[in-house]
Structure 1
Amino acid sequence: MGFTLVVIIALFTVANRMVVQATDLTCVIGPHHKSSPSPEPNITADTACSRYSSLSCCTANTSHSIDQQNARELYNRHWDDCGGLTTECERYLKAEMCFFSCDPYVGQWKTSEMLSLLDVPVCASSCDKWFDACKDVPVCAQNWITDFKEDNITGRFHCVNNTCRTFAQRYQNGKGMCETVWGDEFRYVADNDNCMLIDFTGDNPNANVKKDISAAHSFELWQSSLSSLLAFLSYILLQF
């Protein structure tokens, strides 16, 4: 009976190790990101990134640039190559850029590459609101990472294919948009307690979202856990 109990406890320990969550705050690797988040009281309440003033991965200068210049000053990209943006679409594009630049909790999904994320679980409601805000706005790129090319002379990014089509024509819905516009950086997930919100008011709800890395590292975790379990059981058996 005692041996069985020991085995059960060991197996329970292995199972627990399979769910690992990232807790350390970190920022996306980029020229306009801090190395780690800190308060930014100079991000004023009337700016696009104001929701991140209490804890931010971006500086007040970056916030100001997003608010006043969209993506032009920071990354030399122009959202309005196909014509003017609607007020609501521009507001949401700014919210998304603030989310990427300033949110202190999105860094859990950063990669080792510059300005890169992978599989951030974005709430369906955020994707759908973004899509609805921009569905009638024309855009010349499908994937905003691969479908822009830098001009060697001006440094400005232009669409490789200059065909302008609306968000609705390109993406059909919020899911198609979120899982295409930035390649594989965002993942559209049903609203729950563990998905990220792009646009919100009040305290940052993303503080409660933790990356479950069990899927990404399941093989390594099983390997490590199994080795530990076998070593433990070998020790127990040697006692008999």
Structure 2
Amino acid sequence: MGWWWRLLLGLWAVPPMCTGRELLHVCMNTKPHKQEPGPEAELYGECIPWKDSACCTASTSWDAHLDVSLLYNFSLVHCGLMTPACQRHFLQAICFYQCSPNLGPWIQQVGGGGLGEGVDPRRQAERVLDAPLCLEDCEHWWADCRTSQTCKSNWLGDWVWSRGKPRCPERAPCRPFPHHFPTPADLCERIWSGSFRASPELRGSGRCLQKWFEPARGNPNAEVARRFASPAHSWVLSRLAFPLLLPLLS
């Protein structure tokens, strides 16, 4: 048996880190997040949709709406005021990341603080990676931010602090969003270093996540998390990946 076969069989033999049940209705292991989801009647602004089951507190939801975020050490106004529509998308994305209990299938352990800074040293740092945002979410986000400006395509770190505010690095001029993000997928996938992935699927398909939803209609992301956490979904992915390995195995 060749070494590629041994590697492949070894990978398939490794048990998953979490069962499907453990991937559902969970919070990330980071300082701003609660240890487990629960009701939060006093959530603020764009975080309100998660009030029935949230991984964020009311205080965290308030901090998420500040121009200089205490959660992520960056400023939404680092290149001047955004349009209200653009700013709303970012607030929704922050609330989604902090409050959603449906990100379990995409939570990964990391050495640093994930999307935010200042992780509690008593807890293992985690982040979300490649969470599939619905097609419309990326397209509307990009369209509503076309006239706003930024100086960076990756907002994770490398800001320069001056007078208590994070500012653009030297020789990083402010330019319209399309300069840094030519397509909607670029915006979704680059803005927070791969936390999100641009999905080709539409809202309501059950195969992509909505970064915001109407509270009265219920949380559609619970169904998506169940689909991605299911053993059947993992089996299908492994079978889809197998043909890609065939040239290496021959």
Question: Normalized against structure 2, the TM-score is what?
Answer: 0.70
Partner of 1:214: 234
Which of structures 1 and 2 has the bigger CA Rg? 1
Judge conservation of contact 1:32–1:74 (CA < 8 Å) in 2: yes
Judge conservation of contact 1:70–1:94 (CA < 8 Å) in 2: no
Partner of 2:150: 139
Letter in 1 for 2:38: S
Could you tell me how far apart the structure 1 residues matched to 2:143 and 2:106 are?
A: 26
Q: Residues 13-63 of structure 1: CA distance to partner in whole angstroms, max 9, x if unpaired?
A: x9xx99x8564322123221112111111225xx22110100000001111
Shift of 1:131: 0.9
- More deviation, 116-125/70-79: 70-79
Partner of 1:53: 51
Letter in 1 for 2:223: N
Give the alignment partner of residue 97 of structure 1, picking from 94, 97, 101.
94
Could you tell me how far apart the structure 2 residues matched to 1:58 and 1:155 are?
A: 25
Partner of 2:182: 172
Work out whether 1:123 is the aligned partner of 2:164: no
**Could you list the runs of 5+ residues in structure 2 that have no partner in the other structure?**
1-11, 115-126, 243-250
Judge conservation of contact 1:29–1:110 (CA < 8 Å) in 2: no
Q: How many residues align?
A: 199
**Could you list the runs of 5+ residues in structure 1 that have no partner in the other structure?**
1-13, 223-240
Partner of 2:41: 41
Judge conservation of contact 2:34–2:55 (CA < 8 Å) in 1: yes
Change (3 A) 1:166 1:55: same
Partner of 2:29: 29
Could you tell me how far apart the structure 2 residues matched to 1:58 and 1:139 are?
A: 27
Let me know the Cα RMSD of the aligned residues.
Answer: 2.9
Shift of 1:70: 4.1
3-state SS of 1:49 partner: helix
3-state SS of 1:121 partner: strand
